[in-house]
Amino acid sequence: MTTAPVRGASEARVDDAGVLVRTPVEGPLVVSLDGRYVWAFTAARDGLFHRGGVLVPWPEVLRPYLTGWTRVRVADVGGEHVLLDQEVRLGRGDGQGDGRGDGRIAVVDAQGLPLAVDKVGHLGRAFSATDSGVRDEILAGTRRALTDLREACGVTAYLNYGALLGAVRDGAMIAHDSDTDVCYLSAQNSPADLILESYRVERTLRDLGWSLLRMSGGDLKLLLPLSDGRVCHIDVFVAFRVDGTFYQLGNRSGRLPESAILPLSTVELHGVELPAPARPEEMLAFVYGPGWRVPDPAFKYADPVAGVRRLDGWLRGFRTDMGRWTAFHQGEQVRRVPRRRSSFARWAHRQLPAGEPVADLGAGTGRDALWLATRGRSVLAYDFSRAARSRLARRARRRELPVEARLLVLNELRSVLVTGAELARAESHLYARHLLGCLDEAARVNLWRLSRMALRGHGGLLLLEFAADTGGDLPEPQPGGLVRRLAPDVVRREVEAAGGVVEHEELGPGEDLFDLPDPAVCRMRVAWPPRGARARAHRTPAERTTP
């Protein structure tokens, strides 16, 4: 990185690592590239002490765009205290990274519209880059969602989170926000009843023509197509009480009297009247804390740990890396994944009888699922990334291959049990390349549970490949931070504790997710014998010639 020798503030420095803040600054700082807002942070919270100041790393979702020249401005929210305003070069600086050839960094989407990092670390189009006509479409869609929830679904729905904050504080959408949020207050107080109600709400909204995603047992995401080509999200969260504590998905929990919500009032957002809690200011203090009136584009929630654990256990499961995998599949890194089948796919194909169906767990881009289908197998491809499933489904349709993309969230028992039952009926073998290293211990327990359900009845196989931890000085598997190494003996013990048998194991050099060399990769062939039966040796097709 080079910095042009121009005049300007020098209380900060920018390079490929991030923003180095050289002077103590309280409150959020805003980063703009060529005059466009892209990111905000608080140095004391988000940075690490570094020689000469506090270094705040670039968000991973921004890094693929940071190649070329740009004018970087780092300032406080009001723009009165400017720490840096300089022309800099990041990355190669040759214009190749942004695909435009003019050497300027452009953080934009496929339509050329500006993107910014939102409060949960995702990259999206902020309302500051939304024209009034599209903004009106978002308002109309939000009002329609609230009306459908109230009149068709029979629940008490109200505006909340950033949309409510913008309405009460400014009468307008928050410039750095990118979606709208609504909640409904449920009269239910048990997780099972809350989930049943949420699924009833989902069915009703689908019948009304809404396209939506289920995010948890009490959280839906309505997908609102806009005329500028993007899809705006309207999040629908459940709120409820258990033993005197108020819970609201989005991780909020604590003390909030019902009188702060009911009877509903109204607020105006860009002149559009929308239902709101009875005392919106009290709700905003509950959500954002007592300083909610002060704009903070770098705001991050400080959620009660006990409340988060209860909501995870009751309604959600654990999705720590879902956002990062979504960013991976929507970003530049996914282009590094080869389209050609992996060497493990060929190895696995030889382990199985010809023509028998396969379920690819953690299918990702679908490269192996599609290849297995070309070898005469019907394939179910499971992943928890919607972006991955959508791309895989498109590729399968274009090639007219028998591959069906389905959702699987291994940290959610509901998803695991449904998938296990599906695969038991389908009598599929299971295939998992570099899935194990993406899972925490609880998710691996669920993988073994799913495998037992799916394989025990018909004697199928689970074929595994993963980056191995052999105790030496090994490189981190790629993509960094998303895939981890596992010791083969740990995997073996977990399989055996779940009733499985490792019939074959091999350890040696292999390839990572990008097919780059990895010095330690483990492959396993695992079976789940029927209860009470001795482990039967499964043989490869070449071994079956002799009884």
Same domain (yes/no): 143, 281: yes
CA–CA separation, 105 vs 463, rounded Å? 43
CATH number of the domain to which 329 belongs: 3.40.50.150
Contact (CB, 8 A) for 452 and 526? no
Question: For residue 309, how far is the Cα from the chain centroid?
Answer: 19
In this structure, is residue 203 part of a structural domain? yes
Report the percentage of the chain scoring pLDDT > 90. 67
In this structure, is residue 153 part of a structural domain? yes
Q: Per residue in 368-409, pLDDT tens? A: 999 999 999 999 999 988 889 999 999 999 999 999 999 998
Same domain (yes/no): 540, 441: yes
In this structure, is residue 186 part of a structural domain? yes
Same domain (yes/no): 391, 497: yes
CA–CA separation, 357 vs 354, rounded Å? 9
Q: Per residue in 493-512, pLDDT tens? A: 999 999 999 999 999 999 99
What single letter denotes the amino acid at residue 497?
A
In this structure, is residue 460 part of a structural domain? yes
Q: Is the pLDDT of residue 17 over 80?
A: yes
In this structure, is residue 400 part of a structural domain? yes
Same domain (yes/no): 161, 278: yes
Q: Given CA atoms 183, 185, 188, 190 in this order, what sign does their dihedral have?
A: positive
Count of structural domains within the chain: 3
Same domain (yes/no): 159, 272: yes
Same domain (yes/no): 150, 294: yes
Express the helix, strand and coil content of the chain in percent, nearest 5 each. 30, 30, 40
What single letter denotes the amino acid at residue 481?
G
Residues 148-152 have a mean pLDDT of 98
Q: Which domain holds residue 194?
A: 127-316
Return the pLDDT at 120. Answer: 73
* Average pLDDT in the chain: 88
Contact (CB, 8 A) for 201 and 207? no
Tokens of 301: 């929630």
User: Which of the listed residues 270, 288, 316 is the one where a domain comes to its end?
Assistant: 316
Tokens of 519: 């010095």
Same domain (yes/no): 349, 487: yes
Same domain (yes/no): 382, 251: no
Q: Is the pLDDT of residue 28 over 80?
A: yes
Site of tokens 């993988």: 447
User: Which of the listed residues 260, 281, 316 is the one where a domain comes to its end?
Assistant: 316
User: Which of the listed residues 282, 316, 350 is the one where a domain comes to its end?
Assistant: 316
Higher pLDDT, 209 or 532: 209
Question: In b/e form, how buried is each residue of 142-168, taking b as 16+ CB within 10 angstroms?
Answer: bbbbbebbbeebebbbbbbbbbbbbbb
Same domain (yes/no): 96, 161: no
Same domain (yes/no): 166, 276: yes
- Looking only at the bridges linking them, the beta strands covering 358-361 and 379-383 are parallel
- Residues sharing a CB contact under 8 Å with residue 96, sequence separation 6 or more, in sequence order: 67
Q: Is the pLDDT of residue 288 over 50?
A: yes
CA–CA separation, 466 vs 477, rounded Å? 10
Neighbours of 481 (CB within 10 A): 11
Q: Per residue in 323-338, pLDDT tens? A: 778 778 877 788 899 9
Report the percentage of the chain scoring pLDDT > 70. 91
Q: Per residue in 87-137, pLDDT tens? A: 999 986 443 444 444 589 999 887 787 888 887 777 877 666 667 888 899
CATH number of the domain to which 242 belongs: 3.30.460.10
In this structure, is residue 233 part of a structural domain? yes
Same domain (yes/no): 401, 535: yes
In this structure, is residue 455 part of a structural domain? yes
Q: Is the pLDDT of residue 544 over 60?
A: no
In this structure, is residue 118 part of a structural domain? no
Tokens of 285: 């203090």
Higher pLDDT, 229 or 170: 170
Return the pLDDT at 230. Answer: 80
Q: Per residue in 458-501, pLDDT tens? A: 999 999 999 999 988 899 998 888 899 999 999 999 999 999 99
Put simply, whether the predicted model's pTM sits higher than 0.85 gets the answer no
Return the pLDDT at 405. Answer: 95
Quick one: how many helices (H) and strands (E) in the chain? 13, 27
3-state secondary structure of 541: helix
Same domain (yes/no): 273, 215: yes
Q: Per residue in 431-456, pLDDT tens? A: 999 999 999 998 999 999 999 999 99
